[in-house]
Amino acid sequence: MEKRVTFKGWLLPMLLLLPQVIITAVFFFYPAGQAVWQSLFIPDPFGLSSRFVGLGNFEYLLGDPYYRASFVTTAVFSGLVTLVSMGVALYLAVLADRLIKGSGTYRALLIWPYAVAPAVAGVLWMFMFNTRVGVVAWYLGLLGYDWNHVLNEGEAMGLVVVASAWGRISYNFLFFLAGLQAIPRSVIEAAAIDGARFWTRFRTIVWPLLSPTTFFLLVVNVVYAFFETFGVIHTITSGGPQQATTILVYKVFKDGFVGQDLGGSAAQSVILLVLVGLLTVVQFKFIERRVHY
Amino acid sequence: MATLTITDVKKTFGKTDVIHGVSIDVAEGEFIVIVGPSGCGKSTLLRMVAGLETVTSGEITIDGRRMNDVEPMDRNIAMVFQNYALYPHMSVFDNMAYGLKIAGTPKAEIAERVAQAAQMLQLEPYMGRKPRELSGGQRQRVAMGRAIVRKPSVFLFDEPLSNLDAKLRVQMRLEIKELQKRLGITSLYVTHDQVEAMTLADRMIVMNAGRADQIGAPLEVYANPATEFVAGFIGSPATNFLAAETLGRSGVARIGVRPENASLVAPDQGLANGTLLFAEALGAETLLHLRLTGGEMFTLRQDGTAPVPAEGETCGIGWDRVRELWFDHGGNRVRQAG
Ligand SMILES: Nc1ncnc2c1ncn2[C@@H]1O[C@H](COP(=O)(O)OP(=O)(O)OP(=O)(O)O)[C@@H](O)[C@H]1O
Ligand SMILES: [Mg+2]
């Protein structure tokens, strides 16, 4: 039976809701509304007046090859971040699930990266791979590999992907481990007795039973790669070389704050807003039917 | 079908000894029930046979082949778990077919064998359902079906009926017995319910704190318990134990009298006197709970039609001395001379 708390009257519930409503209004609705408003105008170079252009900013954006390239970059980047962070996390979770002794320490160590702020993580990785003073770059040099993510687009992408995925592994690991431990031991044992070896068991029993967790993490990680990797990209590559690591969020910043194209930048924000909306719908749809089997 | 031998098997978890050396030779097609109170090591013993726990020392063989280091999937056994352990994301059909698919059995043969098992277990209407859409009894049947389609050489059951209600349990008990007889597959069956043990077993192992106190046919164990523990555990209601000196005997420590072997007599005419505390009339029989003059409790079972004295009344209790069970200080049986 679901337990419901009921209030008499309206005043108390309204009061309790008020702080959250105010925060949402001030920090979300107001700027979002402003972005929508601004996306319809082009300000003059001095910011003194602005000209109404209707959907002109959007029209321009969709025709802009750089903006379309940024879409592709974002897709590649988030795909890779999600794949790497979830893949590594799942692998570690499977190992931890089998481990009984010492799993506490192991888990605690794995959770640390999550506590590191994205910008700090970015700086960390940047120094390790710095072309002149980085340890890793130096070792790669010894091995005969000339690392230079400042010039090489693939290396730049690889580095921001790894740096972004790294901070995410802990979070994914915790969810995967919880998911694995929720699978009754006897079900796994029954499969073993039925003749299934480790990999068969994983493919036919564990993976399907883990699918709600996997799907949830998929959405959450894509959202993360889209919106929360700004710090990593800003510190490591600043979107370069050229446009190679300029994902949509970074382009909003670059065009708006660096390029001073406020109208175009606002229009980009609105497009992102729509994307978040879509992802949220997907997520809610999923939560509605949490049980997949 | 196969023979199974367990030779002086011991199990230690970390520093705790859980099984202290159990041995039994199981013949082909025999139904062995492992019975004992909670925590005595029944499941552990069964799981060692399944290969889900390592064997600390001793040897387990199936058809003469040493199994200690063989993986569960290579032992050709099937197991029914207490919580059924069905695959929640698969239909009843897929649950039953899983082992056969892994073994690479041809599709047509899988369909045939699953259909046969489904018919045997009356599961045909449910083949497309998921486990969560089944009742407890139906899930139990699916678990049985999954075990039998593979035609294993040994069946293992770990309290398969304990999650069912009393009536269904009686019904499933009969079905399991019937099925096992028909298939003739060597079986090990764990339960803490002595009625289940008595009705199912060809032979039973009565376990007590990691030891096999007695191994034998149910009626043999009932009639001739080897230890005080077995005498108290097998038989319902439980055997009454009286200190020998209260009966004026020497040479033994305790004397066991089964409730069904005692009867009411006039005061001072029997072997003991007691006051009736309360009577449980069960219809066919009545259980009388008495307090003896020495302060001990005594349960007596009589026919449901026999007269019942008033509560608080003092009665004499008599029994046939030949049917007394004698035990020494260590709890071991002392045989009556003659
Ligand atoms: N993995 C384990 N680690 C440590 N001790 C264990 C482990 N598994 C079982 N034990 C201990 O071994 C003893 C026997 O356990 P087991 O599960 O075999 O009992 P059981 O006879 O099946 O009891 P029940 O009727 O309650 O199922 C118990 O005291 C239990 O605490
Ligand atoms: Mg048990």
Task: Report percent pLDDT > 90 for chain B.
Answer: 63
Q: Are residues B127 and B271 in the same domain?
A: no
Query: What residues of B are in contact with residue A193 (Cβ under 8 Å)?
Result: 50-52, 72-73, 75, 77-79
Please report whether residue B277 resides in a domain. yes
- Alpha carbons A127 and A232: distance in angstroms, whole number: 12
> Which of A156, A167, A162 lies closest to A130, judged by CA?
A156
Query: What residues of A are in contact with residue B72 (Cβ under 8 Å)?
Result: 189, 192-193
Q: Are residues B35 and B132 in the same domain?
A: yes
Q: Of A254-268, B16-30, B191-205, give the lowest mean pLDDT range.
A: A254-268
ipTM summary value: 0.85
CATH of the domain at B171: 3.40.50.300
Please report whether residue B215 resides in a domain. yes
A206 close to B (CB below 8 A): no
Task: Report percent pLDDT > 70 for chain A.
Answer: 92
Residue ending a domain, choose from B227, B262, B278 = B227
Confidence of residue A134 (pLDDT cuts 50, 70, 90): confident
Q: Which two tokens stand for residue B296?
A: 């001990």
Closest alpha carbon within chain A to B73: A195
Closest Cβ–Cβ partner in B51, B102, B130 for A200: B102
Range of the domain at B253: 237-336
CB contact under 8 A, B87 and A200: no
Q: Are residues B131 and B279 in the same domain?
A: no
Per-residue pLDDT at A163 exceeds 80: yes
Please report whether residue B222 resides in a domain. yes
Q: Are residues B85 and B159 in the same domain?
A: yes
Q: Are residues B216 and B256 in the same domain?
A: no
Query: What residues of B are in contact with residue A190 (Cβ under 8 Å)?
Result: 79, 81, 85-87, 146
- Alpha carbons B79 and B84: distance in angstroms, whole number: 9
Residue ending a domain, choose from B195, B227, B259 = B227
- Rounded to an integer, the average pLDDT of A21-38 is 86
> Which of B57, B70, B72, B60 lies closest to B6, judged by CA?
B60
Confidence of residue A289 (pLDDT cuts 50, 70, 90): low
In angstroms, what is the span from residue B108 Cα to ligand 2's centroid?
37
Per-residue pLDDT at A292 exceeds 60: no
The per-residue pLDDT of chain B, averaged, comes to 91
If one counts the domains in chain B, the total is: 2
- Alpha carbons B91 and B104: distance in angstroms, whole number: 19
Q: Are residues B23 and B70 in the same domain?
A: yes
CB contact under 8 A, B79 and A190: yes
State pTM to two decimals. 0.80
Beta-carbon neighbours within 5 Å of ion ligand 2: B 43
Per-residue pLDDT at A1 exceeds 50: no
Confidence of residue A101 (pLDDT cuts 50, 70, 90): low
Q: Which of A7-11, A80-84, A220-224 has the highest mean pLDDT?
A: A80-84
Q: Are residues B253 and B220 in the same domain?
A: no
Chains A & B: contacts with CB separation below 8 Å: 64
- Rounded to an integer, the average pLDDT of A146-164 is 82
Closest Cβ–Cβ partner in B77, B81, B130 for A186: B81
Q: Where are the domains of chain A?
A: 50-289
Please report whether residue B40 resides in a domain. yes
pLDDT tens across A49-70, in order?
Answer: 777 777 777 777 787 888 888 8
Q: For position A4, what pLDDT does the model report?
A: 67
Q: Which two tokens stand for residue A236?
A: 């490591």
Please report whether residue B232 resides in a domain. no
Q: For position A200, what pLDDT does the model report?
A: 92
- Rounded to an integer, the average pLDDT of B18-35 is 93
Residue B66, H or E segment: strand B65-66
CATH of domain A50-289: 1.10.3720.10
CB contact under 8 A, A189 and B98: no
CB contact under 8 A, B81 and A189: yes
Per-residue pLDDT at A205 exceeds 90: yes
Q: Which two tokens stand for residue B243?
A: 């200190």
Per-residue pLDDT at A262 exceeds 80: no
CATH of the domain at B281: 2.40.50.140
Residues 6+ apart with CB under 8 A from A290: A212
A203 close to B (CB below 8 A): no
Q: How far is CA B327 from CA A225, A238, A274, B36, B254, in A?
A: 76, 88, 84, 20, 5
Q: Is B79 in the pocket of ligand 1 (CB under 6 A)?
A: no
Please report whether residue B126 resides in a domain. yes
Q: Are residues B106 and B194 in the same domain?
A: yes
Confidence of residue B35 (pLDDT cuts 50, 70, 90): very high
Q: Are residues B208 and B257 in the same domain?
A: no
Q: Measured between CA atoms, how close is A179 to chain B, in angstroms?
A: 14
CB contact under 8 A, A195 and B73: yes
User: Which residue would you say has higher pLDDT here, A288 or B129?
Assistant: B129
Residues 6+ apart with CB under 8 A from A60: A264
CA A39 to chain centre: 25
Q: For position B231, what pLDDT does the model report?
A: 93
Q: Are residues B329 and B212 in the same domain?
A: no
Q: Is B42 in the pocket of ligand 1 (CB under 6 A)?
A: yes
Q: For position A3, what pLDDT does the model report?
A: 59
Whether the CB-CB separation of B333 and B325 falls below 8 Å is answered with yes
| A204 phi/psi in degrees, rounded to 5 | -100, -20
Per-residue pLDDT at B230 exceeds 90: yes
Please report whether residue B242 resides in a domain. yes
Q: Which two tokens stand for residue B24?
A: 């039994």
Q: Which two tokens stand for residue B319?
A: 């029994």
Q: Which two tokens stand for residue A70?
A: 């940024």
Q: Are residues B72 and B206 in the same domain?
A: yes
Confidence of residue A2 (pLDDT cuts 50, 70, 90): low
Confidence of residue A109 (pLDDT cuts 50, 70, 90): confident
B81 close to A (CB below 8 A): yes
- Rounded to an integer, the average pLDDT of B30-52 is 93
Per-residue pLDDT at A236 exceeds 90: no
Per-residue pLDDT at A121 exceeds 90: no
Residue ending a domain, choose from B199, B227, B255 = B227
- Rounded to an integer, the average pLDDT of A198-215 is 91
